[in-house]
Amino acid sequence: LQRFFDGLEQAMASGNPAWLDPLLLEWTSSPTLTELQHKRNDVTELVTKILSITNDVAMENLPQEQALDLLTTVTPFYTYALEKIARLEMESRVAYVEAELTNVQRKLERLDRSKSAFISIAAHELKTPLTLIEGYASMLRDIVARHGDPMADTLLAGVNTGITRLRQLIDDLIDVSKIDNDLLSLNLQATSGLIFQLLS
């Protein structure tokens, strides 16, 4: 506070409020993480409190005319200090928000890479046991065909339907993985149904 009042005295003597700049910059250049997260303007509150105390002390200790003269002289310097602080605090907050957004973007990119890697690995890992199931189902179908069991034939048809659906799902996962890794490009074309809708 003594440095603030020394700077204020120099600013008033010279008529140049820039005497306050070094201290204001120091006060606003090190906000805590909590202050930034909760958008608190502690330096603004501090300077506003100093101004209030200055008003109270001047009114209590000086004759009314001198107090008004002092406050009229000092108020523009406090106004300058508050405007400067507001700008510096806003710059600090903007820098904080930019850093937070950059951090979130990095996390999202890492998550996207992990998702792509998981889809690719899962699809390829599922393909191997599916091929084994398909092979065993085919062998069972041959055995059932020789012995002519209609119930077993119906059950195997159900297994084959499930295998076909699972293979389609795995192929779709592989395609998604290729698209994510820019190994597959989409070629969009209108179908006959869309052409008919556009023509009608």
Contact 170, 123 (CB under 8 A): yes
Distance CA 19, CA 6 (A): 9
pLDDT at residue 105, rounded to an integer: 93
Question: Which secondary-structure segment (H or E) carries 187?
Answer: none
Is 50 exposed, middle or buried, given 0-12, 13-18 or 19+ CB atoms closer than 10 A? middle
- pLDDT digit string (tens) for 68-96? 888 888 889 889 888 988 888 888 888 88
Distance CA 109, CA 180 (A): 12
pLDDT at residue 103, rounded to an integer: 92
Q: Which residues of 100-117 are buried (b: 16+ CB within 10 A; e: fewer)?
A: eeeeeeeeeeeeeeeebe
Instruction: Identify which of 70, 72, 73 has the alpha carbon closest to the alpha carbon of residue 58.
Output: 70
pLDDT at residue 36, rounded to an integer: 52
Q: Tokens 């107090």 sit at which residue? A: 67
Mean pLDDT of 111-125: 82
Distance CA 27, CA 160 (A): 73
pLDDT at residue 118, rounded to an integer: 83
Res 182 pLDDT > 90: no
* pLDDT, mean over the chain: 81
Distance CA 109, CA 113 (A): 6
CA–CA distance from 172 to each of 120, 122, 177, 185 (Å)? Answer: 11, 12, 9, 14
pLDDT at residue 158, rounded to an integer: 87
- pLDDT digit string (tens) for 6-29? 888 888 888 888 888 888 888 787
pLDDT at residue 39, rounded to an integer: 62
Structure tokens that stand for 120 in this block: 């690719």
pLDDT at residue 5, rounded to an integer: 84
Distance CA 149, CA 166 (A): 26
